[in-house]
Every structure is written in structure tokens, then in C-alpha cells.
A = this chain, B = another copy of it.
Amino acid sequence: MNNNLQLSGERFRISYILRGNYEEISKKAKNICYEQTVEFPEDLVPIGIIKDQIVGRIEDLIEIEKGKYEVIISYAVETSGFELTQLFNVIYGNTSIKPGIKVDKIVLPDILLNRFKGPQFGRKGIRKLLEVFDRPLLCTALKPMGLSTDKLAKQAYEFAKGGIDIIKDDHGIADQIFSPFEERVQKCCEAVARANQETGYKSFYVPNMNGPTEKIKKKAFFVKEVGAGGLVISPGLTGWDIIRQLAEDNTLSLPILSHPAFLGSFVTSQDNGMSHGVLFGQIMRLIGADAIIFPNYGGRFSFSQEECISIAKMTKAPMGHMASIFPAPGGGMTMNKLPDMFEVYGKDVIFLIGGDLHRHSKDLVKNSQYFRKIVEKM
């Protein structure tokens, strides 16, 4: 034991959902306390600070329905090393490999939250950049993969001209021979700037930043230099901490949209992974995303309306100093669903419509104007 070691006594709390009877749950809960910290048989754990404070502590076992329990376990903030990867490790590292345990809620004390900057822009910051304060924001994606840079830039121009606020790369458009990254960013930025000059809007282009780790930061500064308005990143592909790194950089200072690619397995099971609110709301906010893209109910994916509402709720639930962020539901959304979505999400939402914006007519400017008109009337 470190002779002089003293812990702050501050703890963070994780709610896990487990299934079984009380006895089974009690045993599983205790296992989590050990697995997530000392990873050591109980009888071998040194007495003193390690046993008393470092091993996770069961705070509550609540039967939420017959055979389904919320187990609240607290951990000393010091176990996290006050950085994201180890914090996530304590929350769900090894336990992710044990079936039947789902992370349902994360409650971090200020002493821990204050070590992370969180979203640099959040809802307010993005609204300020766009100078749009009183309506939902409009977003679309340049697509499909395989188009040349010139065709994608033409789309970018037309979307901006028609009043789409945020024009992002489709998340499958990366750095391929069809449209190399730097060439595309340059031309799409120029295209959107030209449209903005004509319209007076403040639309911005958001390139897809997924790619080799060692290049992302340099690419981000290139993107900034040529005038892109933000970044879209899939942390399931690039790693969580990349977003934190870029979001904390005040010299970069670009809003970040997170994309859910490769993260689905965290939420496709009822019994494992994380709740939608934790993954898309709490975690994305903690790592510093300013807006979170997720598949809306009723589209090509299978999230329920209730799950989508829980995500939206967690984008603005109290979380220390962390700014509220934008939910950006998409994934096969169509314009005729906008009134219903407005009723569900309210005005603090980014409506992401991809394919349907191409379908309405062959004129992308007009289609975008139509989209905008619907939203401006809300």
C-alpha cells in the first residue's frame, strides 16, 4: 500500500441493467465491482484503501421490473486517471465481455467532469456560427460515394444555394480515388462560399475526417484553413479520444458532428452494450461532439421513438459545465416526416435528410428551398 496515498473520496456512479433474481444480481454486481477495478480475486485484494475505496462499491440494487434490476456501482474518481480511455475502461472495459450487463446511465461528479472540456460549441455555438436562432437546423450529405469532386462540389453549391445550413460528406466518402480528400474539401468549401455570397446565408461544409490517426489533426487544420465550417467524425472508427483531442483545440475551433458508424453493436442488443442515451447522449457529449448523428425512428434503421427521445433528452440533461449539444436524427428521413419530427424533437434539432432531398425533383436548389421552407414555417 502507498503509505501516503489519500483519495478524494469523490466517486462516479454507473447504472447497469442486469437480469436475474436478487441473489444472482447481487453476485453479478459484486463481480462487476472487482472486474472493473482490481481484476483480482476478492480474498487476495489488499485491505485498506484498495479494498475500501478502489474496488467498486454497490450503491443500490433496484428491481425495476420482475427479474430486471438497475445496479448502481460507484468508483473512486482516481481510478479513471482523469482521462477518457481509462474512464471508459472502468465504466465497461472487461464487463463489456460478460453477457447480460448493459450500461444505462453515467453520473460523473464535477471534479471529474471539469477535467474534460466537452463540446466547444454545443447548440449555442453552432447557432451563432450559422446565425440561426429560432428554428431547427437543416443538414444534408454529399453523396453517393463514387462521384467526382466536381459533381460533389456542384451538389454542395446547390444545397447551400437552396439554404441548407450544414452540408456534410456522406460518411462513406473518405479519401478515395473517386474524390481525394484535399481536392474535395477545397472545392466544396469554395462552392459553399460562393453560394453564401449569393444568398447571404452562413451555410458551412463539413468534411468527413475518418482516416489514419496520425493524419487527422493535420487534416483538420487544412480543413480549417480552406474554410470548412466543421468536422464529421465516426469515433467507432477513429477512436473516442480523437474527438476529445480536436474538440479541446482552441486554435482549431471547429464544431464536430459525431457519426455512429461501427458503433451499432453497443445498442443493438437489449441485454448488452449501452443504452441509447448513454452512448449517443452522454458519451458523445463527454468526448466533445457538438452534434450527434443517429438513425431516427421510422427510417432505414430500428431505433424506437422512445430510444430517440432518450437520446435527445441526454443531449441537454444537466452534465456539469458541459454544453447541450444537437441531436441530428437521420438515416432515411423524408421531408414529409418533418412535422412529426418537429413535434418530437422541438426546434433544437438538426434535421438530416440525404436521399430524399435528391428525390423531390431533379433541381437540388429547389428541393433545398422546399426543405427550408417547411422548416422555416415551424
Instruction: Give the B-binding residues of A (Cβ under 8 A).
Output: 1-2, 5, 31, 35-41, 44-46, 49-50, 54, 78-81, 83-86, 88-90, 92-99, 141, 143-148, 151, 170-172, 174-178, 210-214, 217, 234-242, 244-245, 260-269, 271-274, 295, 300-302, 331, 354-355, 358-359
The 8 closest A-B pairs by CB, nearest first: A239-B239, A96-B264, A38-B144, A97-B264, A93-B261, A50-B146, A85-B237, A2-B148
Give the distance in Å from the alpha carbon of A155 to the alpha carbon of B372 in the complex: 65
- Flag if A174 contacts B81 (CB, 8 Å): yes
- Flag if B302 contacts A147 (CB, 8 Å): no
Q: Which residue of B lies closest to A86 (CB)?
A: B174
- With A213-B245, A262-B96 as contacts: A144 and B88 at CB distance below 8 Å: no
- With A97-B295, A97-B301, A143-B40 as contacts: A261 and B89 at CB distance below 8 Å: yes
- Flag if B267 contacts A269 (CB, 8 Å): no
- Flag if A245 contacts B212 (CB, 8 Å): yes
Give the distance in Å from the alpha carbon of A31 to the alpha carbon of B358 in the complex: 19
Q: Tell me which residues across on chain B come within 8 A of A170, comparing CB atoms.
A: 39
Give the distance in Å from the alpha carbon of A93 to the alpha carbon of B331 in the complex: 13
Supply 6 A–B pairs (Cβ within 8 Å), ascending by A.
A38-B146, A39-B170, A41-B355, A46-B147, A96-B264, A237-B239
Q: Which residue of B lies closest to A213 (CB)?
A: B241
Q: Please give the distance in Å from A256's CB to the nearest CB on chain B.
A: 14
Give the distance in Å from the alpha carbon of A264 to the alpha carbon of B89 in the complex: 12
Q: Tell me which residues across on chain B come within 8 A of A354, comparing CB atoms.
A: 39-40
- With A54-B146, A85-B210, A359-B41 as contacts: A98 and B264 at CB distance below 8 Å: yes
- Flag if B174 contacts A267 (CB, 8 Å): no
Q: Which residue of B lies closest to A43 (CB)?
A: B359
Residue among A39, A40, A266, A267 with most chain B CB within 10 A:
A39
One of B40, B89, B143, B238 near A355 (C-beta < 8 A): B40
- Flag if A175 contacts B212 (CB, 8 Å): no
- With A96-B262, A171-B93, A262-B96 as contacts: A148 and B85 at CB distance below 8 Å: no
Q: Please give the distance in Å from A32's CB to the nearest CB on chain B.
A: 11
One of B5, B96, B144, B172 near A268 (C-beta < 8 A): B96
- Flag if A211 contacts B171 (CB, 8 Å): no
Q: Tell me which residues across on chain B come within 8 A of A97, comparing CB atoms.
A: 260, 263-264, 267-268, 295, 301-302, 331
One of B1, B89, B146, B262 near A174 (C-beta < 8 A): B89
One of B39, B81, B143, B359 near A211 (C-beta < 8 A): B81
Give the distance in Å from the alpha carbon of A290 to the alpha carbon of B9 in the complex: 40
